[in-house]
Amino acid sequence: MSRRRFLLLGATLVALNAFFWLAQGGLALPAGVIDRLFGPKLIRAEVVVGGPAAGIEDFRIDRGVITSTAAGSITLRERDGTSVTIPVTPATRVTGPARFTDVTRLRPPLRVLVIRKLNGPAQQIQVERPLR
């Protein structure tokens, strides 16, 4: 009887493993949902990321047009008309066209996407639409 149980348990585990191996893409969110949440119509988002190694981290994503720059900060006007002032540091990474290499090169009316930890300075600024 114990051999029969062992065989049944082994067959069940193999079937379960095969199911998860074949269904892994099907259980994920469709690409359309991801594009809708984080695509070009995004105004702002708060993303909470958790894991056993890093713990819980809270990120803020803002997208808008730069309306003003000052030493240590930039001000964005978001699509819904909200203005937000975001602190920046010399360590803030700027990505996009090659002429925008650091924070000092940013100026109105650039359209940007800013990623930062909640209540912290910007970690990354992505220039989406350069000046014409």
* DSSP one-letter string for 6-43: HHHHHHHHHHHHHHHHHHTTTTSPPHHHHHHHHSTT--
Q: Which segment of 37-41, 45-49, 78-82, 112-116 scores lowest on mean pLDDT?
A: 37-41
Beta bridge partners of 56: 50
Name which residue leads in pLDDT, 132 or 64.
64
pTM of structure: 0.70
For 123, the enclosing helix (H) or strand (E) is strand 122-129
Name which residue leads in pLDDT, 12 or 110.
110
Q: Which segment of 15-19, 33-37, 55-59, 102-106 scores lowest on mean pLDDT?
A: 33-37
Look at residue 74 and tell me whether its pLDDT is greater than 90. Answer: yes
**Helix ranges (DSSP H) in 1-132:** 2-23, 31-38
% of residues, the chain, pLDDT over 70: 81
